[in-house]
A = this chain, B = another copy of it.
């Protein structure tokens, strides 16, 4: 983490940019945070953590060995949890899983434990799983111990050979009524648990998901609380084969592990039995509803849109935009000084749509959070009606957001030229963390196809006159098909997105149907058109995002100056993705070939009007230097001084001559080949 060593002068170009802004940065910050009070709270919290020198890295983690990096992650994680408790005492906030999740995940966590945290799943999955799936007795026994960190847990579901398709899991739990125990076993190599964070060397307990067998019958997957290591010696228990899965593209602080069971026995009461139960004699009692566990899965997906995608993307655009307002290169007009690279249209085109994209994510995620809260309380009253709709929108929004964020971060990194490639720019770390989310918690293609399945169903329902939920209501509207003469307005843009989603879903459904009519099995027809089905889900999601973006800007309680800027971002968002999917717009929407040139001009003019506000907009994300952790993006714009300071943190620079010279290089140079 970069810690400002001395007060540096503010870079004159960056100061100039800030003076050009046409709106109040603090007003936008408050809007992003959800109110001035929230901004104040966030700043206090950040200040409390990032100023603690014990949480700063002496040597950046990328220079340490893999083992040292793990040890540092453990040292800092212990301190971090202690400090959260200090904060709770200080602010008398009361303790909650949400507070831990907020501090450990998101911006703050990513600043202090840049490459992930080995305790994360204890708070994100272990405790919530016991709360959500344990009986009251089980909660009473386990939660206290977990909450005080007397035990450290993880969540072991994914296996070496089995990921998103959880019905395929191979780990077994056979009930033995004679001893009233479950026997956990890993029958194959592919059944080894693989990926859980903290499983390698950190956790001593885990929730293990396994196929339950009792009275000779398999009842599908169920969760069990399993002790993995001795609480005193931390040695793996007999029958437990445990280790770490090795280095990854990122998240190397999370200590992901593998786990195999050799007929390992646990007492009957360690199956989490809030839903289904196994009685003493081995009788299986089925859960009244298996949909109730959907809630947690949706929660995690919604959480990661803001906590991962939005977090890392807003960091990346801040870094790249500030850098582009300091870096000078080439010449625009012969003989003149090298211009700021932000003057280049191509550079604006790399940055500004990604800034807009961050706001698109923010507003959609806010909307989905409110939906999540109301659907959750409906669920508690036994009302499951809106669950499929929420599931469908959460799936595609998770996929679109994680992929927009990952691609956007890479565009920002490349927009910083070679310097973006430096680890210290923090862009490579950000990409590593953001792209991981494209795969975990539901692989994106699989999620798109889940949304597509929902959309196909909605399409047929609409044809039979069934009233559809809000987010798919447009499928009932035949006017979605009516073409209108184009003019460059946001209402037309939104209508065009609606026409595209409608048109794609209509055409793809038709193709699938026609293939089935020729005698092809439904599953094969579905698979044959799955490329189009993914596009349907993407179009549906983009429509959702642009609608929420537009409505949020319209309805926001902000000054006219700010609303103007937000509407420019919203327009850029709409126009950018329209031009990037032009084929579909020409096929299905009111956009005609003759309209394209004016839409391109619109995009060019939006880039131009956003140009003077670019630095102010990213300033409004209000990400402090310690969290940005990038010499390219620091608030003061002293890019080159800071890059030089970072280079000199490389331990290779500690000595003028590395020992490999005497050992290898000198003998080689003197050998006279």
Q: In the bound complex, do residue B74 and residue A664 qualify as a contact, i.e. CB atoms below 8 Å apart?
A: yes
In the complex, what residues of B have CB within 8 A of residue A641's CB? Answer: 189
Q: Quick check: is A279 within 8 A (CB to CB) of the other chain?
A: no
Closest to A581 in B: B583
In the complex, what residues of B have CB within 8 A of residue A428's CB? Answer: 248-249
Q: In the bound complex, do residue B647 and residue A243 qualify as a contact, i.e. CB atoms below 8 Å apart?
A: yes
**Shortest Cβ distance from A433 into chain B, in angstroms?**
11
Q: Quick check: is A527 within 8 A (CB to CB) of the other chain?
A: yes
- Contact of A582 (CB < 8 Å), options: B148, B189, B583: B583
In the complex, what residues of B have CB within 8 A of residue A644's CB? Answer: 160, 189, 192, 258
- Contact of A168 (CB < 8 Å), options: B243, B329, B345, B657: B329
Given A67-B658, A417-B439: A422 touches B330 (CB 8 Å cut-off): no
**Shortest Cβ distance from A120 into chain B, in angstroms?**
15
In the complex, what residues of B have CB within 8 A of residue A443's CB? Answer: 417
Cα separation A229 to B12 with both chains bound (whole Å): 37
Q: Quick check: is A47 within 8 A (CB to CB) of the other chain?
A: no
Cα separation A650 to B202 with both chains bound (whole Å): 15
Q: In the bound complex, do residue A329 and residue B646 qualify as a contact, i.e. CB atoms below 8 Å apart?
A: no
Q: In the bound complex, do residue A246 and residue B414 qualify as a contact, i.e. CB atoms below 8 Å apart?
A: no
Which A419-452 residues have C-beta < 8 A from chain B? 420-424, 428, 435-436, 438-440, 443-446, 449
In the complex, what residues of B have CB within 8 A of residue A417's CB? Answer: 163-164, 439, 443
Given A244-B650, A333-B523: A665 touches B346 (CB 8 Å cut-off): no
Q: In the bound complex, do residue B523 and residue A656 qualify as a contact, i.e. CB atoms below 8 Å apart?
A: no
Cα separation A418 to B162 with both chains bound (whole Å): 10
Q: In the bound complex, do residue B168 and residue A235 qualify as a contact, i.e. CB atoms below 8 Å apart?
A: no
Most buried by B among A247, A422, A524, A640: A247
Q: In the bound complex, do residue B604 and residue A583 qualify as a contact, i.e. CB atoms below 8 Å apart?
A: no
Cα separation A331 to B651 with both chains bound (whole Å): 51
Q: In the bound complex, do residue B258 and residue A344 qualify as a contact, i.e. CB atoms below 8 Å apart?
A: no
Q: Quick check: is A473 within 8 A (CB to CB) of the other chain?
A: no
- Contact of A424 (CB < 8 Å), options: B244, B247, B418, B603: B247
Q: In the bound complex, do residue B646 and residue A246 qualify as a contact, i.e. CB atoms below 8 Å apart?
A: yes
Closest to A603 in B: B531
- Contact of A523 (CB < 8 Å), options: B332, B523, B586: B332
- Contact of A65 (CB < 8 Å), options: B65, B327, B436, B439: B65
Q: Mark A633-649, 1 if CB is under 8 A from B, else 0.
A: 00000001101101111
Q: In the bound complex, do residue A245 and residue B422 qualify as a contact, i.e. CB atoms below 8 Å apart?
A: yes
Which A200-254 residues have C-beta < 8 A from chain B? 200-202, 204, 231, 233-236, 243-250
Q: In the bound complex, do residue A246 and residue B344 qualify as a contact, i.e. CB atoms below 8 Å apart?
A: no
In the complex, what residues of B have CB within 8 A of residue A440's CB? Answer: 418
Cα separation A164 to B149 with both chains bound (whole Å): 54
- Contact of A81 (CB < 8 Å), options: B258, B420, B668: B668
Given A148-B673, A330-B165: A583 touches B600 (CB 8 Å cut-off): no
Total number of A residues with any Cβ neighbor in B under 8 Å: 141
Most buried by B among A420, A528, A647: A647
Closest to A604 in B: B528
Q: Quick check: is A14 within 8 A (CB to CB) of the other chain?
A: no
- Contact of A660 (CB < 8 Å), options: B75, B192, B346, B523: B75
Q: In the bound complex, do residue A530 and residue B345 qualify as a contact, i.e. CB atoms below 8 Å apart?
A: yes
Q: Quick check: is A672 within 8 A (CB to CB) of the other chain?
A: yes
- Contact of A246 (CB < 8 Å), options: B243, B255, B436, B649: B649
**Binding stretch for chain B, among A56-64, A131-139, A544-552:** A56-64
- Contact of A652 (CB < 8 Å), options: B168, B200, B344: B200
Q: In the bound complex, do residue A71 and residue B586 qualify as a contact, i.e. CB atoms below 8 Å apart?
A: no
Q: Quick check: is A464 within 8 A (CB to CB) of the other chain?
A: no
**Shortest Cβ distance from A101 into chain B, in angstroms?**
17
Q: Quick check: is A349 within 8 A (CB to CB) of the other chain?
A: yes
In the complex, what residues of B have CB within 8 A of residue A35's CB? Answer: none
In the complex, what residues of B have CB within 8 A of residue A652's CB? Answer: 66-67, 70, 200-201, 243-244, 255
Q: In the bound complex, do residue A70 and residue B643 qualify as a contact, i.e. CB atoms below 8 Å apart?
A: no
Q: In the bound complex, do residue A346 and residue B149 qualify as a contact, i.e. CB atoms below 8 Å apart?
A: no
Q: Quick check: is A666 within 8 A (CB to CB) of the other chain?
A: yes
Q: Quick check: is A509 within 8 A (CB to CB) of the other chain?
A: no
Q: Quick check: is A172 within 8 A (CB to CB) of the other chain?
A: no
Given A234-B665, A247-B60, A596-B583: A332 touches B67 (CB 8 Å cut-off): no
In the complex, what residues of B have CB within 8 A of residue A74's CB? Answer: 658, 660, 664-665
Which A42-58 residues have C-beta < 8 A from chain B? none
Cα separation A651 to B247 with both chains bound (whole Å): 10
Q: In the bound complex, do residue A333 and residue B248 qualify as a contact, i.e. CB atoms below 8 Å apart?
A: no
In the complex, what residues of B have CB within 8 A of residue A668's CB? Answer: 78, 81-82, 149
Given A247-B424, A338-B165: A85 touches B149 (CB 8 Å cut-off): no
Q: Quick check: is A496 within 8 A (CB to CB) of the other chain?
A: no
**Shortest Cβ distance from A406 into chain B, in angstroms?**
9
Closest to A668 in B: B78
Q: Quick check: is A518 within 8 A (CB to CB) of the other chain?
A: no
Q: In the bound complex, do residue A235 and residue B656 qualify as a contact, i.e. CB atoms below 8 Å apart?
A: yes
Q: Quick check: is A90 within 8 A (CB to CB) of the other chain?
A: no
Q: In the bound complex, do residue B247 and residue A656 qualify as a contact, i.e. CB atoms below 8 Å apart?
A: no
**Shortest Cβ distance from A586 into chain B, in angstroms?**
5
Q: Quick check: is A630 within 8 A (CB to CB) of the other chain?
A: no
Cα separation A666 to B150 with both chains bound (whole Å): 9
Q: In the bound complex, do residue A329 and residue B162 qualify as a contact, i.e. CB atoms below 8 Å apart?
A: yes
Q: In the bound complex, do residue B329 and residue A189 qualify as a contact, i.e. CB atoms below 8 Å apart?
A: no
In the complex, what residues of B have CB within 8 A of residue A664's CB? Answer: 71, 74-75, 78
Closest to A521 in B: B333
Q: Quick check: is A68 within 8 A (CB to CB) of the other chain?
A: yes
Q: Mark A324-340, 1 if CB is under 8 A from B, else 0.
A: 00011111111000100
In the complex, what residues of B have CB within 8 A of residue A646's CB? Answer: 246
In the complex, what residues of B have CB within 8 A of residue A649's CB? Answer: 246
Q: In the bound complex, do residue A669 and residue B150 qualify as a contact, i.e. CB atoms below 8 Å apart?
A: yes
User: 5 tightest A-B contacts by CB?
Assistant: A582-B583, A249-B428, A247-B423, A165-B330, A78-B668
11 contacts across the A-B interface (CB closer than 8 A): A66-B652, A67-B658, A148-B672, A161-B327, A168-B330, A201-B652, A243-B648, A243-B652, A246-B646, A258-B644, A420-B439
Known: A158-B418, A248-B428. 5 other contacts (CB 8 A): A81-B673, A235-B657, A245-B647, A247-B650, A345-B531
